[in-house]
Structures are given as C-alpha cells and as structure tokens.
A and B are shown apart, each in its own frame.
Chain A
Amino acid sequence: MIKFITLIRYLTVYSLFMIASLQVLAQGKEVKGLVTSSDNQPIPGVSIVIKGTTSGTSTDSNGNYTLTVPDNEAILVYSFIGFATQEKRVGEDAVLNITMTEQLNTLQEIVVVGYGTQKREDITGSVSSVPKERLAQLPVTNVLHAMEGTTAGVYITQNSSAPGSSASVLVRGVNSITANTSPLIVVDGVPFSNMGGTTNDINPNDIESIEILKDASAVAIYGTRGSSGVILITTKRGKSGKPSIRYNTYAGMEYMHHTITPLKGAAYSQKYLDYSKQRNQTPNDPPVPNQYEFANYLAGKETDWIDAVSQQGYIQDHNLSISGGTESVKYFVSGAYQKQQGVLKGYEFKRASFRSNLDVNITPWLSAGTSLFYANNDYGGGSVNLTLATQMSPYGIMYDKNGNYEIYPMRPELLYKNPLLGLNRDEVNKSNNLNGTFYIDIEPTFLRGLKYKLNTNYSYLPTKFATYSGLAAGQTTGGAASINNSETSSWLVENILFYEKDLGKHHIDLTGLYSAQETNFFTSTINANTFINDGLSYNGVDAGAVATVNNTSRSNVRPYRTALLSQMGRVNYSFGGKYLLTLTARRDGYSAFGSSTSKYGFFPSVALGWNVSEESFLKNIEAINNLKLRVSYGRTGNQAVGAYQTITSQGTTKYIYNGKTYTGVVSSSMQVNGRLGNSDLNWETTTGTNVGVDFTVLDQRISGTVEVYKTKTKDLLLLRQLPNISGYTSILDNLGAVDNKGIEVTLRTVNLKSGKFTWSSNINYGANRNKIVSLYGDNKDDIGNKWFIGKPLRAVYDYRLEGVWQNGEDASKIDPGAKPGDLKFYDKTGDGKITSDDREYLGSGLPKWTGGIINTFDYGNLHLSIFIQTFQGAVVTNSMLNTGDQTGRINTPSQLGYWTEENKSNTRPSLAYTNPRGYAYPVKQDYTRIKDITLSYTFPQSTLGRIGLGGLTAYISGRNLYTFTDWVGWDPENDYNSSLDFTGNNYPYVASYVMGLNINLK
C-alpha cells in the first residue's frame, strides 16, 4: 500500500514536470502540411520527429499533420515503412508539404526479429520477409497458401485444396526424421503453434508482416523450438490520427484444376473382360462385374459419377477494420467473415474472426496494451466421397426405387458404397481460438535506454466434432454417432528487459528474457451405435445400444500437460553502423524430456555483419548502393518429444468373458500399443553456419540476397524401428545425424522504368541438399526404415522397373512365379535372380530445388502481378498407380491403362497382378505452376473525392491457373496417402478466380 501511494506521488510529480516541459515547447512555431506519395495519395501514419529530440507527431488519416517546432533551424525527419526517410529544415515556411518516394531499398525497413525489432541494415542473421503484396488481394483462406513459393528456402506444400485445409512448411530442408519439422509460428510474440493454434485461426487481412527466421543466429533465441525455423507473424496495430475505416472484400469461383477421368462404359466393360481373362475367371453376361450394373448396361445408360459429386465452388471474404488513435491510445479493431464452398458437394469452410489490438501510453514511462482475438473455424458437414466416385461403375445405380441414394450402386458388391451418401451424414466440425495477450512496457526515466516488458498470454481453444450416420447415409446397422470434444489451454508469462546505449560510434543493444509456459490438453470421445431411429442424430448419443468412451482425440492424442521454462540473453553491438555483432544464448527446460536428463538445453549463437558499402573505399563507387556481408554460427534445438513419450506405458484394451466386457492393460499388441520409454530422451541439436551477402546495385535497380548455409543436426529423435522380437515395434531415441546445406537467392529487380510504366521482378531460388550422416554409429544403413547413410531422407528405395513380362519371355530363372503381365524388375546385383537385394535408392521426396518469380507491371494506377512457382527434383511413390487387388471390382482412371496380351504395355502390369514384391511405383513429382495472376486498379484521388471515398482499389485475381507436370493423378502437390482404397478420400486441386475491392472510407 505504501508503495502504491509512493507511486501515485511519483506520477503526480512527473505529470507536473511534463506539463512544464510542454509549456517550454509551446513557445516555438507551428508548422503543418500534407504528406503524399509520388502518385499523390495522402499517407496516413507517417512519423514526423524533430531531429535530435523524441518529440514529434504523425499524419492523420488524410495525411495531414501539425507540429510545434522550437525554431526555424529545426529539422524534421519524415519516415514511413516502404518509403525513403526524408529530412527537411523548417525554414521560414509554416506549411511543409512532403512527397515521400517509395523505397525499393529496404534497408531502413523495420524487421521483426523475435523479442524485438531491428532495422534491416542492422541484421546479422538470416531473416526473410514475405513480400507485402503476397498478403493482400489473394483468394486464400490460410496465410500459408499466400506464402507458397515466395520465399527462398521455405517450402510450403498445400497438402489438400479441401476448404479449410492448411499446408505443411519446411524451412531449409528437413533436419529431423520423426520429429515435427514445422517451423515455430509466433504471432505477436506468442508461440502460437506451440500452444495449439493453427494458421487457420489467423485472418490473413489482419497481418502486417511476416518474417521467417532461418539461420541459427536468428532462431537460437527460440532454443529448443527453433531448429526448424521460426515464422513471425505481426498483426496490424493502430496509428494515431483520425479513424481509418477499411472494407476489403472479394468473391469468386472455384474449379477443379487437374482432373482424372474414370473409364467410360465400353472401356470399363472391356477392362472387366480383360480382368476375367487374366484371372482365368468366367465373365458375366452382360460383361459387367455386378448384377446391379446389368440393367443400365443393357439400356446403355451411363452415370458420370465425378459430375454427380461436383458442384460450383465459390469463395467470398469480407473484412472490416477500424484503426486510429491519439498520442496516448491507439487501436486496431477488425472483424472478418470468410466462406468457401468446395468444388465437391458438402465441402465447406467458414471463418468468423474478431481482433482488437490496443496500445495505451499511460504515462511517459508506462504503456500497456492488448492483442485479443477470437476465431471460429467451421469445417462444414457431411460431404461426398471423391475416391468412391472415381471407383463407381458407369453402370451403377444411383437412386433406389424410392428416389433415395442407393447404398450399394454395384450390388452385390457391398464394399463400395454410393459416393453421395455422405451428404446425408450429419456433421459439425468446429474449432475456436480465444486468445488474449496483455503487455506492460516500463521505460524508467532514470536510466535512459532501459525498458522492461511484461508479456502475458492466455489462450483457450475448444473444438467440437460430432457426426451421425443413419440409414440415409448408408449406415444399415442402426445408426452410428461419434462425438469428440477437446480443449487446449495455455498460458505464457515473459519478462523481457531491453537496454540500448550509444557511446560515440558504439551502439549496444541488450535483451534478456525469463519466461514460463504451460499447455494443458483434454479430450473425450463418445462413440455409440444402434439407435431406435435416426431422429435424434448425434444429439441423442445416449440412446445408442452400444456406447464406448475414450480419451483419445481425433488425431489420436491423449490428455497431456507440458511446461517450458526459459531464459534468453542477446547482445547486439555495432560500430559506426559498419561492424555488427550479435551474441545470443537461450536455456530451455522442457517437461517432456526424459527423467534421467537435466531437462535443460543450452543454445548459443554468434553472428557478424559488415556493411562494406559504408567503407570509404566503396562509398564513391556509384554502381554499388549497398553491400553487406554476414556470417553466423550457432546451435538450436528441436524439443519435439511429446508429453510422456519417455515413460514406458501400457495401452488399454477390452475383452469379453462370457459376453461381459472387461478392461485390460496391454504392453504390446497388434491393435493397441504400449510404449517402450526412454528416460534419456533429449532434444535434437542443430549446429549451423550461414554466410550471406545483401546488395543493392545500379542505382537501386537490383537488390538481393545470396545466402549459403550448412547445418548438422545430431541426436535425432528417431522413432527407431526395433526388431519385433522385442515385443515393441519402435522406440523414440536420440540417434544419428543429418546434414543440410543449401543456397538461397532472392533478387528484386526493376527491369524497365519508362514514364508511368514499371516492370519489376521478385525472384527466389532455393536449393537444399539433405543427407544422413550417421544412424546408429556403426556406419550401417537401415533398410527397414529406408534410411541410408549419405543419402537424403524420405528416400525411395525400391526395385528399378525394367518393363513388363511379355508372352514368350522366360521369367522362371530370374523371377520365378512371374507371369506375363507382371512387372519386370532390374537385376541390380546381377546374380540372375530378383531378390530384395535388387532394390536400390531411386531418389528422395525432398525437392532438389524450388523457386518462384513474381513479375509486377505498373502503369499509372494499373497493377499486374504474375507469380510462377516451381518444384523440382523430388521422387515420390504414386499410390494412384498401385491398384492392388481391386482392379476387377471397381472403375479406374482412364489415364492408368493396363497390360494385355495384345497391347504388350511395357509400363503397366496386367489386371491380375497382385504386386507380390510390394513395388510402390516411384515417379518424379516435378511441377511448375502459374500460381496466380492479379490485376488491380487504384482509383485516382480526384475521382474518389466526388464519391466520398478515401481510397479504392479493384482487382481480379486467378489462382492455380495452369500446371506443367508429367504426374498422373489428381495433382503432384497433393499428398494422397490413400491408394484406390475404400477408406481414403480425395479432394482435387482447385483453381480460383475472384474479383475484389479494397475500400477506404474517408
């Protein structure tokens, strides 16, 4: 209490002092003016500071400012992100109108670097910023989709185009085998992905900037979570000035981008005849496999099942934001709604989100603020099954005599149900993210340069999933319901101290952190079946005759708690802006590490930078505007051990005695696995070196960055396969090492500038070489796991396909048992026999290189952007080609083909082929895609004035427009693990065309 009173007294005294100083200032001269861009648009939020002081102001929403200066000699510094900073002496004038020029040179750009910000020119590590234009005017629901292909060394794969699907991200290759290799995503300083959040929870429109930290120096401050890279997302915040109201919207159509076509009637029937012949079976008459197909076959009536499950896709997005503020309170508030209807019936994604970012300067030494958001993702309900649609006979029966969906269109074939049945499945699938950050900044006046920040966050993420399949959905056994609820709650407390000091040419910047974080996850699932009728859907789950309950989430995670305790320190030192040094160290303690370990890991790094162009010997060379060399070395970690994975545990199972249920515990079974624990389990350690050059040359026409890096990751957390003799199939262990090395090039060029026309390009290229250095220390490959020393991860290890055995060829010596129409493999060992030793390394699922090029054309207010992306050098298995034993029963894509005695195909096996050697059909995954084209027009101020708007941009944008590839199947990028199997489901890759408006109210 006494302390509080003292504080109040202090505040009072301080305020009086402040008022006094304002009075001193008030004796000066008032200047005002308008700040505009080169195309005469007013720029709100431009910072104007009197040089040598901290006093200043910023422009309001119309670009106007008013400021009192001490005298005519005062120099005003105008700065704004994306524009060149200008200085202007006040002089005699009372009105100072300023035209800011857009700056290609990004050196002054403020970059978020984790626990702070830095000017681009002061950065020593590898920090890539996602080009700003990728964050607007693109029809994407997930921000990762917008980033795909735009940043060197960052591989983003959109695994599915299904509404609401996310993407997987790799930064600089794979440096883990079994552990998660997704980068840590930090939103406004909060380790978001670590606390259960997904990128679907982030409204792309709220994002101000995205930085990707890639090298050890940049990520070491994230310790055990840094080794896969860090993505820093910063949301928009208010700026002082009149409220700025923006409404951004787009709407458009979606289409299947890359389709396959199942066999049509005659070809389908022929396939059945060929199958029967090849399997020595007597075909039916008429020549279709199933009785239900007879009538339609005889009537010549065919169904296009792909057409039946498809619909017109569309996407719409509405986003309203209000921002503004005064010197003491700044706000950014937004609300957004997005709806995507898939190209397949029933697929849908809706997101509603709100955000409120608030910054309050309470006193000159105390400020506080919040970042609050709520997002609700609705993943839609029952949907069709595309896989089944591709498998349906063109002669199958869609409707029964009552007009309902026929459950088994190919009866008596009961394995393949009607692909449309899912539309009658009741389903709700929602996730929520309620997320609040509160911070306090204290900058004591007694020690200039010192700042203390308390950053706290609490997040609460409940999910709800419920599904019910009744008779109409093909559930003939009396209805089946499943309900899963889960909640993830996390808290974070960070204490951060900053200290900044200039001593002559020496500049020093210190950051210290002490933080704690805890995450709790709980989930429960109820499954019930056999209901009286379908009337109650999942709301009457207690009416099921049989119900089971478990504590496993839909992705098979059981309840857990994890905790993280961390300390971090960072020193940034620079001398005269020429020589830069960064030292960091982080110590992380993580609860899930083994009980025999200390649970703490230590991660130091060092980085040096040299702004060569500041040296006198380069200053006079006109062609070189900027040149900087950077080198860094450091260590990072991957904590990736899930909770309880170090403890030997048992699963639970059920068994019946005389029909009565008993629960048992089991250490190992084919169905339920206990775990063999490893109390020595620790983090993975990545040590890496990065060398980079940043340059701007030829009068700022060309700028770019070239970086080379090499990292070595050891103590890999491997889910190491054990001989099953152990009773366990695997154990998590710290084993082995992998190397990654690569080169990244980012170029920004102005190719042509003539009058109002500008053509500029943004090119990125990244090549990564990954290789396993060691596994178990005995220099032996692990064939069982397909890990080969000296070869990359995700190896494809298989037979080399030589062709197909033809009639008359004698297979009996080299591959006894092979019949004509079976695949013929290369005898690598040359021993005259095909054995497992003839398998060989055929490539890796990791790309050799990826790249992207954004070409931008500006003509006055017209803006055209074309983005092409490429992915090269990966080899993966294509399960579409592996039809297993089902070819005789289902329809297959016409693109596949098969061997017959007549066509003597040398690439596809016969329909009787059962694949006894488990050949997995490896193929090249290469593709090049015209990812998007956007054409926009910014209406001139003169027009807008008449209709009362502050700004208006209209655009059209197309996405996934064309793909160059040899891939057979839906799309090379989509990761279909399911083969032509009744259990999987597919979603095609999607192309979208939208029109959008960005409106700025006055």
Chain B
Amino acid sequence: MKTLKYSIIVMLSVIILYSCDSSFLDEELKSNYSPENTLKDSLGLEAAIVGLQASVREQYTLGEPQGLLAIFQNGTDVTVQGNFQGVETPFSNYATLNAQSEGVSFFWTWAYKVINNANQIIYYANDESLPLSEKGRNSFLAEAKFFRAYAYNFLATLYGGVPLITEPIDKPKTDFTRASVRDVNDLIIDDLTFAVANLPRVGSVKIEGRINKGAAQHLLAEVYIRDNKPDLAEQQCKDLIGSGDFNLITARYGVKKDAPGDPFSDMFIYGNQRRRQGNKEALWVIEQEYNVPGGSANANDQHRRIWVAAYYQISGMKIADSLGGRGIGRIRLTYWVTNKLYAANDMRNSKYNIHRDFYYNDPANANYGKKINPAPGDTLFKLCPYTTKWNHFIPADEFGYGVFKDHIRMRLGETYLLLAEAQFMQSKFTEAAESINVLRTRAHADQVQASDITLDFILDERVRELIGEENRRMTLARTKTLVSRVKALNFQANNTIQDYNMLLPIPQSERNLNKDAVLDQNPGYQ
C-alpha cells in the first residue's frame, strides 16, 4: 500500500518538476526582429536604412484611397478634378476641407512614421558601444537625418509648426504640443547640414539608390528659401551645380533614344530614369520595378490613373502603349496650363511631353486613324491633355491598377529653379534670369531677361519644367502664393479658397487622441 502511495507521489513530482522548469514561461521573440536585437551592428543598421527608404517610398505610391495623390495638385493652379474618386474633393472645394478630411491625416501619419524610423536609426547609431567606425556611424546618421529632415520639411511646409520628435517613442505618449516653425526649421537645417557634411557624393554611395550629398544640398536649399535665407540657399545650389556630379539632359539617350521623342521626354521613360540608365540629371530617384520583390510598396501607385486621361472610354479607342496605358483621368490640367503657359517652341510642350491630340486607334472602328473631334464633355477626363511623365504600359497588366515607374524625386533642373528663386529673393534678377535660361536653353525656349523675373514667373517656369513631378501644393504653400494663384488660375477652387487654406488643418483624430495636451488647430479650421 505504502509503495503505491509512494509511486503516486513520485509520479506527481516528476510531472510537476518537469513542468516547473523556470524558463517554461519565458518568451523569446523568434518571429520578428526588434530594434534591440537588430540595430546593434552595421548589418542591422543597413537593413534599417533599407526599411527607412521603403517607408519613404510609401509617400506617393500607395493605392488607397485612390484619389489621394490629387490633393497636391487639385485646388492649386495646375489641375482641377476630372473623374474624381472623392477623397480629393475637399481640396478643390475648400468649403468642405476640414480636419477630418482623410488626405489631411494620411500624409501626416506617413511623415511621422518615417520620422520614427529615422529616430530609431539615429538613436541606436549614436550608441557608442556599437562596433562602428566614426565614418560608418556618421554615414548612417547622415542618411537617417536626411530623411527625417525630408519628412519634417513636408510637415512644416503644409501644416506649419508641428510636434518635434527626435527620439523613438518607447511608451505611449499623449501630450504632444506643436513646436514653432522656427524650431522645426532649426532641426531640419541641423539635420541637413550634418547630411551635407557626411553623405557621400553620388559617385561614391554604397549602392546606387542610397541617398547622396547632392540630394541633401538640394533639399537644404529649398528649406533655406522657405526660411528666408536666400543667400545660404544660393550657396547650396551653386555648390551642387558646381560639383559636376550631375548635369542636365540635353541629348537623346536610353531605351527609346531612336524612337521619336526629345531629350526631355527621354528622362521619364521606364528604363531611363535612374543614373545608371543614363539619367545624370537625377539627384534622387525612388525606385520601382514591375514584378520584382520590393519593386513597389504595394503595386498600387496611382500616378498614371490620376494623370493620364481615360481616352479608351471613347468608342473607337483602345488602351495603347503609345498613349500611356490605362489612366482614368482623375485630374486634368487647368486651362491656364494647357492654353496659356507654354510657348509653342518649348520642348517641354512637345507632343512627347504633353499629349493633346487623339486619333481613333481601334482598327475595327470606321474612323480608324482619324483625329477625334471631342464632343462636349469628352474633354472633362476622357480626351483632356495630359503630361506624359506618368505614361506606362505593361502588356501583361493592361488594367494597370498600379504604375511601376521610378519617381525622380529631385533633379538638377529643379536645382536651377531653386537657385533662381534664391537669387530673385536677393533681387539678383540678372543672375536669376541666367539660371532660368539654362533650363530654357535645354528646352529650346526663348531666353528671358532680368526684367521678366518675378516670383510668379519663377512659379510659372516651375510648372513648365516640373508639371507632374513637383508637389505643387507644397511649392505654393512654401512661397505663400497658394491663395492668390488659385484665385487667379483655378476656376474650380477660386470661389471657395480662403486665406487660412494656405496651411492644412491638423488632423482631428490626432487632436482627439492627444488627450493630455492641446494640439492647436490652424486658424480657420474647426
């Protein structure tokens, strides 16, 4: 009997002891990386830079809501709503723009996610115990600071002073307050000054596609202009142009150099956009590629769908490579852009760069080959002129929900425009005219004189050069010209825009969630 009792006790004890192993309840993270176990050497930091750039790419490449990209063009001087989706409507009808408008919070969120990723890298790279050389440490810091400055510049330009976060958040925080624009600008300038000093020149980056000194100089110049330091901006532009690392594209090149076209249009052809592909003008290219892992954020980049017209909705028209694939014309160029802006001889207005005329292309159609005479209403989004910069056609993907072109985020052409702006601000009108004439020479357009130079002229020239590329809302907000130019040039938004619309509202959801402090709303928004 005793033995049985004993056996039971032994049996119980064995099971209990087995279960009582002290590590039984310990948890070891095995299915994800964490900052602590990853950002501890150069391999981890390299991976974090890749992740950071992937998060930066998401700015303009995600698909939902589909009309999002249009908010930076509609309600400015360059485009109006075409076949709209809805999310962009408040930005054309400013009476409906409010702190709940989805576009307002989407990009705000994007920017702070990038900032957090950059802060993680800066925080860990600054850890002296990490096995990094001084140069290696500074190169990680410089890259992270560049992108942090890029995101803060986006916020400061569109929203004004915003909460300033410089270290990764490690616990919930709900008492953010807005910093002054001054403080935000100081951080951006600090970051970019460090980046300019420590980033490699474009020829010596670790891998082509990593950020380089030229991009930092270009961004710093833009920030200096916004911060009313035109002399410093001019210096950055001149250093960059003078470095000889980049040059304007003035001759045909690339995959379609023998097809009809011009040097300007060559830059925007899939396969031509990167430096290695011959584009020596590009300072910073955000890469995308069809059907390559990592080739896009989520394969949903909406650029073609917003910019390219829905010509195939006309009977007798089919989707064509030469017409840029399947757009849906969510936005269309304003009358000012299509009819007033360009001189006829301007290369940037060539049929390779602005598509204007349509010809029936369905062989089954009786009018095949004939030019279409648009019916009233057809030019709203089906047969409206459009920039060809987002033309893209992949035969396997006719529907083409997403576009896979690279984004030339910065190029030397714009550097000349920033230079001109900085010179104009210092009343160096002759120099400003010279800077602009560099671009006009390339475009075979008429030269301008010092007397032609005004802020509006520079802003016009930016459209000629950068339509489809620049975030027009940022440019007009930066130069405080949004309201005046919309009133003059945008028939759709001119009646509803008011002075306070120069800045976007602070997202209401953020204000609600930030329960322990007040995030002041920008004046005019409720």
Contacts and interface: CB of A to CB of B under 8 A. Distances in A.
Contact of A592 (B27, B47, B112, B117): B27
Interface stretch (A157-165, A341-349, A717-725): A717-725
Given A563-B25, A595-B27, A724-B113, A654 B294 contact: yes
Given A589-B25, A659-B289, A727-B169, A667 B120 contact: yes
A446 B5 contact: yes
B3 A7 contact: yes
A449 interface: no
Indicate the member of B4, B7, B120, B509 with the most A CB atoms within 10 Å: B4
Interface stretch (B194-202, B373-381, B441-449): B373-381
A653 interface: yes
Contacts of A10: 1, 3-4
Contact of A643 (B18, B27, B102): B27
A727 B8 contact: no
Given A727-B169, A816-B96, A657 B512 contact: no
A723 B513 contact: yes
B208 A658 contact: yes
Nearest to B210: A657
A21 interface: no
Contacts of B208: 657-658
Interface string B1-33: 101111110011001101110001111011111
Contacts, number: 323
Given A669-B55, A784-B512, A546 B291 contact: yes
A412 interface: yes
Given A591-B26, A668-B55, A915 B86 contact: yes
Nearest to A654: B294
A590 B19 CA distance: 13
B512 A516 contact: no
A649 B120 CA distance: 12
Contacts of A402: none
Given A7-B4, A592-B27, A727-B113, A666 B54 contact: yes
Contact of A476 (B85, B110, B170, B397): B397
Contacts of A403: none
Interface stretch (A322-330, A425-433, A775-783, A987-995): A775-783
A658 B399 contact: no
A7 B53 CA distance: 71
A565 B19 contact: yes
A676 B289 CA distance: 31
Interface in B94-152: 95-96, 98-102, 105, 108-110, 112-113, 115-117, 119-120
A691 interface: no
Contacts of B55: 653, 666, 668-670
Contacts of B267: none
A724 B50 contact: no
B25 A662 contact: no
Interface string B493-523: 0001000000000011110111110010000
Interface string B277-315: 000000000011101111101100000000000001101
B378 A657 contact: no
A836 B99 contact: yes
Contacts of A918: 100, 102
A477 B298 contact: no
A648 B35 contact: yes
Interface residues of B, number: 119
Contact of A446 (B1, B44, B120, B515): B1
B51 A653 contact: yes
A560 interface: yes
B423 to A, nearest CB: 35
B176 interface: yes
Nearest to A677: B34
B45 to A, nearest CB: 10
Given A412-B312, A664-B51, A727-B119, A655 B112 contact: no
Contact of B50 (A516, A558, A560, A663): A663
Given A722-B172, A914-B89, A918-B100, A664 B297 contact: no
Contact of A676 (B27, B29, B30, B169): B169
A724 B7 contact: no
A671 B297 contact: yes
A535 interface: no
Contacts of A836: 98-100, 508, 526
Contacts of A649: 29, 32-34
Contacts of B344: none
A495 B47 contact: no
B485 interface: no
Given A546-B293, A561-B30, A667-B117, A782 B512 contact: yes
Interface stretch (A53-61, A69-77, A728-736, A869-877): A728-736
Contact of A817 (B47, B54, B95, B176): B95
Nearest to A545: B291
Contact of A558 (B32, B113, B326): B32
Given A477-B396, A493-B15, A725-B163, A665 B113 contact: no
Given A478-B396, A565-B19, A720-B172, A914 B117 contact: no
A338 to B, nearest CB: 35
A727 B51 CA distance: 14
A311 interface: no
A658 B274 contact: yes
Contacts of A677: 34
Contacts of A659: 287, 289, 292, 295
Contacts of B346: none
Interface string A624-636: 0000000000000
A722 B174 contact: yes
Contact of B24 (A414, A477, A516, A731): A516
Contacts of B99: 836
Contacts of B293: 546, 548, 654, 661
B116 A670 contact: no
Contacts of A502: none
Given A656-B292, A836-B99, A724 B112 contact: yes
A415 B173 contact: no
B225 interface: no
A776 B7 CA distance: 54
B468 interface: no
B89 A655 contact: no
A721 B513 contact: yes
A599 interface: yes
B54 A664 contact: yes
A559 interface: yes
Given A659-B289, A720-B172, A816-B96, A664 B90 contact: no
Contacts of A589: 25
Contacts of A783: 512
Interface string A353-369: 00000000000000000
Contact of B25 (A3, A599, A817): A599
A370 B115 CA distance: 58
Contacts of A495: 12, 15-16
Nearest to A916: B96
9 contacts: A282-B378, A412-B319, A476-B397, A648-B35, A656-B295, A658-B209, A666-B51, A726-B173, A782-B515
Interface of B: 1, 3-8, 11-12, 15-16, 18-20, 24-27, 29-36, 38-39, 44, 47-55, 57-58, 62, 84-86, 89-90, 93, 95-96, 98-102, 105, 108-110, 112-113, 115-117, 119-120, 162-163, 165, 168-174, 176, 207-210, 274, 276, 287-289, 291-295, 297-298, 312-313, 315, 318-319, 326, 375-378, 380, 396-399, 496, 507-510, 512-516, 519, 526
Given A515-B19, A725-B176, A817-B90, 15 more contacts: A454-B11, A529-B291, A530-B291, A591-B26, A648-B36, A649-B29, A650-B34, A658-B274, A664-B48, A664-B49, A664-B53, A724-B510, A727-B117, A784-B512, A885-B86
Q: What are the 3 closest A-B residue pairs judged by CB atoms, nearest first?
A: A727-B116, A654-B294, A664-B50
